[in-house]
């Protein structure tokens, strides 16, 4: 069973579908008139509208589309794999429970990452001490194999073994440096550099002016540049 199917099955087991009015009638009305391939081509907002009307498959497509990126955001925010997995499930549970309140004129990803961010902030407030960022803990939710980490964004090509070792060391150090950023800078950096979100959308998620977001991003980059200065030669070695 795929990770998406597993998460969907878990959510289905929460008894959440009772919150969808007249679900049986809705499913009968939708049937399988729209192929899954067609659903996958629809926008997030269109899928959410279908889900609000009872089309469960639309929700499955949304999970498949956003599970990985949301997990990436959660993991890099809390620096803890198990906690990120728990928060991932909670994010989509809140999407289900709050679906009636969603309005299509709002961008789905803005709403989704606002939920994710708020959960991370709440979790951080409950913790007295932050767990140090792991140098080699995989980002991959399954935890199997050579889990991806930030070092994977560095092109290795046909690198020799020594270059791969250097790349892993550098990638681990980058991830650690990101984990050491203050929360307001780290969340902006993650959304901008990892999720490729525009500054305007980040401002909507964090509820601060766009210029403040840009300022936090600048400080984050300056901090990372300072922390990673000693690794400049390593970065050249893996190119």
pLDDT in tens, 179-227: 889 999 999 999 998 899 999 999 999 999 999 999 999 999 999 888 8
Residue 176 contacts residue 186 (beta carbons within 8 Å): no
pLDDT band at 129 (very low <50, low <70, confident <90, very high): very low
- Nearest-angstrom CA–CA distance, 239 and 227: 20
Mean per-residue pLDDT over the chain, rounded: 75
pTM: 0.67
Residue 147 contacts residue 104 (beta carbons within 8 Å): no
Architecture of domain 150-237: Orthogonal Bundle (1.10)
pLDDT at 169: 64
Q: Where are the domains of the chain?
A: 3-126, 150-237
Name the nearest CA neighbour of 219 among 188, 174, 185, 193: 185
Is 3-126 in CATH node 3.30.420.40? Answer: no
Residue 54 backbone phi and psi in degrees, to 5: 110, 5
């Amino acid at each position: 069973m795929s990770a998406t199917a597993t998460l969907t099955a878990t959510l289905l087991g929460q008894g959440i579908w009772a919150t969808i009015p007249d679900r049986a009638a809705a499913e009968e009305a939708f049937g399988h008139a729209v192929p899954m391939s067609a659903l996958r081509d629809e926008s997030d907002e269109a899928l959410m509208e279908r889900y609000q009307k009872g089309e469960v498959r639309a929700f499955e497509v949304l999970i498949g589309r956003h599970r990985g990126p949301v997990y990436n955001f959660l993991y890099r925010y809390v620096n803890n794999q198990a906690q990120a997995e728990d928060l991932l499930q909670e994010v989509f549970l809140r999407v289900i429970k709050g679906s009636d309140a969603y309005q299509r004129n709002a961008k789905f990803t803005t709403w989704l990452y606002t939920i994710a961010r708020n959960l991370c902030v709440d979790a951080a407030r409950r913790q007295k001490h932050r767990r140090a960022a792991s140098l080699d803990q995989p980002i991959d939710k399954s935890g199997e194999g050579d889990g991806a980490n930030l070092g994977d964004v560095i092109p290795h090509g046909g690198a020799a073994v020594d270059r791969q070792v250097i790349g892993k060391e550098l990638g681990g150090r980058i991830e650690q440096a990101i984990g050491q950023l203050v929360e307001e800078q780290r969340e902006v950096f993650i959304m901008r550099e990892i999720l490729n979100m525009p500054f305007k959308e980040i401002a909507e998620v964090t509820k601060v002016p766009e210029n403040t977001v840009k300022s936090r991003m600048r400080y984050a980059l300056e901090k990372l540049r300072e922390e990673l200065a000693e690794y400049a030669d390593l970065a050249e070695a893996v190119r």
